[in-house]
Structure formats: structure tokens, C-alpha cells
Structure 1
Amino acid sequence: MAGDWIKFEVSTPEKQEVLAITVDMGWDDPDLTVGKLLRVWRWFDQQTVEGNAPGVSAPLLDRIAGVTGFAKAMAKVGWLNISDAGLSLPNFGRHNGETAKSRALTAKRVAKHKANAKGNEEGNAATVTEELPREEKRREESSTTSNEVVVDSVPADDFSLDGEGKKTTRPECPHQAIIALYHEVLPMCPSIREWNGTRQVNLRTRWNEDKKRQNLDYWKRLFTYVSQSEFLTGRAKTPEGRKPFLAGLDWIVKSENFTKIREGRYHSEEAAA
């Protein structure tokens, strides 16, 4: 879709504000912060006028970002205004989404018209030229400066489409229930005392990757499968002096480890479903 984009500076991942948000959230990867910022900025572009969201609270924006505390972390670096009246983005036009893009294209057409009308006695400098032809408009919409890239908007991870093409909210990832199942089925593995930051992101990602994972039955079967692995549950023979390995939930839900478990890399039997 040619009309669905926002500008994103290529230097964004290295900006001090991004690094400060990353530290504040307890993460060690700025890419996580960049992904959350894209979701927030995209929402403001699609759902607000000029970056103002009256009546929207910080916790509600956290749900859009998919992680608790992200709105306040943005506010600390000056990238979000939070008040009793709602939320707003400072310098909203810099992101140049649909709203800002429309203003930019209009300004270009006006400037072009004035240049063409100069010296033409019959020209009307106050008239805006006709809309650009479709192909020319697309080329203009897709143009970028040397330090910017165009990022296509995509549906938010929290939504899917039903049979009639309407947006439906995906089941929310039940972190506490999954942690309780982990403790119940794998009591020999490390206990979970804190569950935030990257841990929440990884579990939520595994939950959203496949519809069949969006129920507690799947996770109980997965943990049962893990319990059958001698290596993952500390029952495998180890060299003298080396502690046996025990798979924690945070380790299990990391992308590469999760895939290896499902492939049966730590089992002698068939891979998990």
C-alpha cells in the first residue's frame, strides 16, 4: 500500500534517547526499543490528529506497545507528554506519517504552482494545482532524504482478521498462568522470581507466533515434553565438577532454544508439535 508509511531515521537505534529507554526498561538490546517505538508512532499516526490523544492514559499506550512502563520511559527522555488530559507526541510532524505527508505534498504542489505561475499574467497564485497523477504521486510519496528510510506500516501484533476481514483482538498472553504451569510441571527447574522486560517480550512473541500456542493446553504439553528430557531437567550425566543444566522458562522461550526443543534436539524421541 503506497499510502501507509512513516519516516524513520536510520540513526534512531543509536540515539541517546533510545539507549536511555532501553536501560530504563531493563533491556540489553536497543532493537527491542526501536520496535516498540515504531508501534507507538504508527498508532499516533493512524489514530490521532497532529499527535494528540486526549483521554488516552499511559497504561493504555503500554498495551499498544506491548510492555508495561514504556510510555513513562518515553516521557523521561522527552519523546512523550503525559498529562491528566491525555497524551501527545512532541514534534509529531517529524515522523511524517499520513497526516504530515499530506501536508508536505500539499506544500510541494503549492510551491510548484507558484513557480509555474510566476510571470504568467493570467495565472492565479492563490490556486492550488490539481492532484498529481497516481504514478507521480507514488514516486513523491516514496522519496526520502539521505538519512531517512521509509518503513511500511503493518497490522499490530495484537490484532488478527476474522473471516469477514474485521479486526479481532488476539487472546492476551497469560504470563502468570504459563509461569504457574511451568512451576507445576517442571518443579526441578529454576523458579521464576521476576518476569519483565525481555522475558515478557520473548514469551509474548512465542505466544503470538502460532495460533495453536494461544491456549494453556499447548504450554502444559510443551512443559511435559521438556520434563521428559534428561538434559533439560538436570538428570543427564555431566563431567565431574560440572553442575547439571536446568532449563529455566526464560531460557525455554528464547527463539533459538524454543525451536531446538520443538525439533527434539534435547530428546531421543520425536520432535514436539
Structure 2
Amino acid sequence: MAGDWIKMRSDLQTHPKVVRILSAMQCDRLRVVGALHAVWSIFDAHTADGMLHGYTLEALDAMVGWPGFAAEMEAVGWLVCTDDGLLAPDFAEHNGASAKRRGQETKRKQGSRKGAPTPRTVPPLSASDADTVRTREEKRREDALSPESAAGAPADGQASATTQAGEACKAMRQAGMASVNPSDPRLLQALASGITVAELSACAADAVQDGKPFGWAIAAAVGRRRDASRVVPIASGSAFRLNRQESLEESNMAAARAFVAEMSHA
């Protein structure tokens, strides 16, 4: 015996199989639902696996007091007549101890969801409110770039580096770069090596044009400074950039000229 209650769908009275039975039996739907309740209660009380041994269609009709009802249940697939008795298909899915546990657990979860607090609905911002939020956000970003926003009083060298980094980031933002970071170690190292704010701003403009990130602009500024240091003057007053092989050849030529000059004075 599985228990003193059975599971029945709330929309059972409009189920297509119920409609087929009431059409065949020429009766109202509530009588069909009541007879189904009686049949499934018998199965729930006397079987654990959906097999009602020893029962026939006629015997079941006698139990519910409605001749021909069991045959109509069989016609719609809610009952199977075998040599051993009557079988309720999918019995374990809808009835039995495990099915009832599942039903109770589902009901409990639904009750928990109904009792849960309803999250507040946040109304959309008006245009003026949205502008205010954006203005505040921009102000916070500006403050983050300012050395005065740092907590405490840093040492003189650190304060100078922080101030210069903040100025560099502001200049790079003015050049069009949206994402900057005044505490980026690469930026601090570049400034410490002598890279100027103007150089970083120029590279930021190029980075924005080419779709490159903040780090690329810093690396470009360092690279251009390094390349500029390798430009050597020539007699005409113009300049050209030497690669490693050219630098070596120029060094050899200079050594040769010095040797010839020394020999001519000997």
C-alpha cells in the first residue's frame, strides 16, 4: 500500500483521453474523473508496481460500479489487460511511493519560490539622471588619475612619478585613448627612463588611429626614443638611421680614417 492519497492532474477533466471516454460512454466529464479516481485508488492501494493481479475488466467495472468503463480506459491506453491481471501503464511515474515523494518535493519547491521575496524592479533612468550618473563616473575617473586622490603622503620621488603619470594619462586620454592606467608599471618605467608626456601623447594618438591598446602606446614611445638615439649626423647636416651592420661599418671606417691621419703626421 503506497499511501492514503494519489496524484491527479488539475487539468484532468479536459484531458483528450477523458474527452474520448465521455464521448464513448455518453456521460459528463466529472463522472469520468470520479471513476478514474476510484480506479487509480484501487491500484495505489493494492499494488506497488502497477500490476493488479487477478483483476479483469469486468471485475474493475464492478468495483467502480460502471459497466464498460474499464474497456474504455483500455481503449485510450490508461489500462492494459493481461493474462495475470490489469496493468496501469506508467504507474511508477504518477503513483507509488517514489512518485509521491517527487510530487511532494516539487510542491515544496514551488511553495518556497512563492514565499521568496520578490526582487525590486529598478525603474529606468531618465535622460537627465543618466547624464548625472555619467558625469559622476567621469569625475571618479578624473580623481583616480589625480595624485591628490592617493591616500597618505608618498615620498617626494614617488609623488613626482605619480604626478607625472597622472599628467601623462590625462594627455593620452585627450589624444583619444579611453582606457589608461597611471599605476601601470610600464608607464612608470618609461617616465623614469626619460620618456616625456608629449611623446606618450603622440603615440597614444597613433594607437587610437590604429586601434591599439594603452600598452602599445607606451612601448611605441620607448621604441621611438630608442630609435632616435641611433640617428647619427653626416657632413651634409641631414641624418639617417643605421642598423647594426651599418653601425659596425661606420665604426670601422672611422677607425680607418683615424689610422690614416695618424700615419700622415708620422
Bin for the TM-score computed over the shorter chain: 0.3 to 0.5
Higher Cα Rg: structure 1 or 2? 2
TM-score, length basis structure 1: 0.36
More helix as a share of residues: 2
TM-score, length basis structure 2: 0.37
